Amino acid sequence: MRARIPVLLLCGSLALAATGCTVGGSADSGAGSGSGAKKTLVVAEWTNPSAIEATKKINAIFEKEHPGVTVKLENAPTAAGAWGTLTNSLLSAKSVDVLAQFAPTPAKFPPADTGLKSSGSAALITAGQITDLSGQDFMKSYDPVLQKYGAGYNGGIYGVVAAEYIGHGAVWYKKDLLDKYGVKVPTTYTEFVAALKKFKDAGKTPIFVAGKDGLQGIVYGGAVQQLLMKGQTGADSTAVSDQRAKDFWAGTKSWNDPLYKEAATKYTDVMQYIEPAASGVAQLTAPGVWAAKSDDFPFFLDGSWDGNTIKEANPDLKFGFFVMPATDDAANNRIPVKADLTWMVPTWAPNKDLAMDWLRTFSRPENYKLWLDATGSTSTQPGVTSSTLPWMDWLNEHSDERFVALTDPWIPAGAPPEAAGPDLTKMTPFGKQSVDDALKGAATAYQKSVGKK
C-alpha cells in the first residue's frame, strides 16, 4: 500500500499540472478583483516610449491617491502584430481593466446591408464587450463631437479619445535651413513646390521620407483630404466622410475620379524632390537620420507623433511642423486631425470602479496636460491647450483650421491594398505604374473586392 502512495501523488501532481492547477499555494490575485485590501489595476497601452513614460507618471499619481492599489502597465509595440497578440491575450484571460485601442470611427461600423462585419475595437463594441462611458463625469471634460465620432456607436460612447495626431499632409521642417534660404512655411501648393525647387536648385535634397513603410502616402492622403473638404466647413467632415463611403459602395464614386487624379498628380510632382533611395528607408530610422543631417533635407514627411523622437535624435535642431498645402487657396488648406489612442473599459473588467477612477485621474487637466506634452498629441479637451512643445507653434496658431480626418471607404477583409487607394509602392516613382494605371487598378480592385465587378 505504501508503494502506491508515490504513484498516486505523481499521477495527481501531473494531472494537476496538465490542467494548469497549482498545489498548495495561492495564485497571485493579479488583475482579479481579489478579496484582500491590495488590488492590481491592469492598464494596457501600445509602446510609444514618450506615452509610456507619461502614463507611468500618471499611474504613480493614481497609486499615491489609492493606497493599496498597484497599477500594472502592459505594453507591446504595434509592429509585427505584437500589440494585437497582447490585446487578444488580455481579452481572452479577461485580465485588463483599461485598454488602449485605436479610435474605431464610423468607418469601422459598416451598415448591415453591406454584409461586412466590424473588426478591431468596433467588433468588441458591437459584441457588448466594452462599457458605455457616456454617463461618466470625466467625459464632460472632452470635446463631445470628437468623442462621438471617435468612439460613438448606437447613442453610446465607448471610449475616451485621448490622442489626436496629424498624419495626412504632415511635414516637419528645419527652421534654420528655411531661414538660410529665405523660405517661409508655404501656405499654398504653388509656394510649396517653389520652395522644393529652390532647395533642389541650391543642391539640396528637399524631402526625406521613409518610403519602405509607406510614409510617402502622407502627400497623397493629405491632398485627398484637403481636396474633398474644399468649400466645406470643418464641421462637415464627418458627413463628407460618410457620404464618400456610401458613394463608393454604391459605385457612383471611385478611385478613378478626377479628384483622386489631381491628388495623385500632385503626389508624383512632389515625389520628384525626395531622396533617391527613399523607398528603402524605414520609419524606425528615418527621424534620427533626418535630424542628424542638419544641413540637408529641409522637409521630412512624418506624422506629428514623432516630435519627441526627432528632438532626442538631435536636441540642438530647431524644427517645426506644418501641414502640406494641397490647393492654391490657403483657406482650403486645412488640417486633417485623426482620432488615435482611445481608452476603453471592458464590461467584465475585474476592477471596473477603479478603472473609472483611473480615467478620472487621467482626465484631470494637469495630468492630461502632462500626457499631451510627452506625446505631442493635440488636445481632445477644450479646456486644455495643446502641447506647448516648441515644434507645435504652427499647429497651435492654426488650431481653428482643423477638421476630423476623413476615413476610408468600407473595405472587406482580405481586400488587396489597392482597394483602399492607389498602391504607392507600385506607382511612379517607387514603382513603374503610371498615375492613370494605378488609379484604374485601385478602382477595379475596390469594385472587385465589394463584388461590383
Q: Which of 30, 49, 81, 390 binds other proteins (CB under 8 A)?
A: 81
HSE-CB at 432 with a 13 A cutoff on CA atoms is 0
Nearest CA among 86, 110, 190, 106 for reference residue 146:
106
Q: Which of 277, 315, 316, 366 binds other proteins (CB under 8 A)?
A: 277
Q: Which of 29, 32, 63, 118 binds other proteins (CB under 8 A)?
A: 118
How far apart CA 239 and CA 338 sit, in angstroms, is 15
Question: In the complex with other proteins, which residue's Cβ is closer, 30 or 81?
Answer: 81
Is 111 a binding residue for other proteins by CB under 8 A? The answer is no
Residues 2-31 that bind other proteins (CB under 8 A): 3-4, 6-7, 11, 14, 18
How far apart CA 304 and CA 171 sit, in angstroms, is 8
Phi, psi of 402, rounded to the nearest 5 degrees: -85, 155
Closest separation in Å from C-beta 150 to other proteins: 15
Q: Which of 48, 59, 279, 407 binds other proteins (CB under 8 A)?
A: 279
Is 80 a binding residue for other proteins by CB under 8 A? The answer is yes
Question: In the complex with other proteins, which residue's Cβ is closer, 274 or 374?
Answer: 274
Q: CA-based diameter of the chain, in Å?
A: 96
Is 420 a binding residue for other proteins by CB under 8 A? The answer is no
Rounded to the nearest angstrom, the gap between the alpha carbon of residue 15 and the centroid of all alpha carbons in its chain is 46
Is 318 a binding residue for other proteins by CB under 8 A? The answer is no
Is 117 a binding residue for other proteins by CB under 8 A? The answer is yes
Question: Terminal CA-to-CA distance of the chain, rounded, Å?
Answer: 77
Instruction: Write the CA distances from 304 to 165, 298, 334, 394, 436, integer angstroms.
Output: 6, 16, 15, 12, 31
Is 167 a binding residue for other proteins by CB under 8 A? The answer is no
Q: Which of 141, 412, 428, 437 binds other proteins (CB under 8 A)?
A: 412
Question: In the complex with other proteins, which residue's Cβ is closer, 346 or 376?
Answer: 346
Query: For residue 16, what is the DSSP state?
Result: H
Nearest CA among 169, 217, 174, 168 for reference residue 199:
174
Query: For residue 36, what is the DSSP state?
Result: S
Contact between residue 178 and residue 184 where contact means Cβ atoms under 8 Å apart:
yes
Residues 197-256 that bind other proteins (CB under 8 A): 211-214
Closest separation in Å from C-beta 124 to other proteins: 6
Residue 42 corresponds to which amino acid? V
Q: Which of 123, 185, 240, 370 binds other proteins (CB under 8 A)?
A: 123
How far apart CA 348 and CA 54 sit, in angstroms, is 26
Closest separation in Å from C-beta 53 to other proteins: 22
HSE-CB at 92 with a 13 A cutoff on CA atoms is 6
The 3-state DSSP composition of the chain as helix, strand, coil percent (nearest 5) reads: 45, 15, 40
Contact between residue 159 and residue 381 where contact means Cβ atoms under 8 Å apart:
no
Question: What are 174's strand-pairing partners?
Answer: 319
Q: Which of 278, 337, 405, 406 binds other proteins (CB under 8 A)?
A: 278
Name the segment binding other proteins (CB under 8 A); options: 166-174, 319-327, 373-381, 445-453.
445-453
Contact between residue 264 and residue 435 where contact means Cβ atoms under 8 Å apart:
yes
Question: In the complex with other proteins, which residue's Cβ is closer, 84 or 390?
Answer: 84
Residue located via cell numbers 486644455: 384
Name the segment binding other proteins (CB under 8 A); options: 131-139, 224-232, 312-320, 412-420.
412-420
How far apart CA 363 and CA 382 sit, in angstroms, is 12
Q: Which of 16, 202, 235, 284 binds other proteins (CB under 8 A)?
A: 284
Closest separation in Å from C-beta 202 to other proteins: 20
Name the segment binding other proteins (CB under 8 A); options: 123-131, 155-163, 173-181, 221-229.
123-131
Name the segment binding other proteins (CB under 8 A); options: 243-251, 276-284, 359-367, 369-377.
276-284
Q: Please work out the total of residues on this chain that contact other proteins, with binding judged by CB under 8 A.
A: 60
Contact between residue 143 and residue 363 where contact means Cβ atoms under 8 Å apart:
no
Residues 287-316 that bind other proteins (CB under 8 A): 288-289
Interface ranges with other proteins (CB under 8 A) = 3-4, 6-7, 11, 14, 18, 78-81, 83-85, 87-88, 91-92, 102, 108, 117-120, 123-124, 126-127, 129, 211-214, 275-282, 284-285, 288-289, 412-416, 425-426, 430-432, 445, 448-451
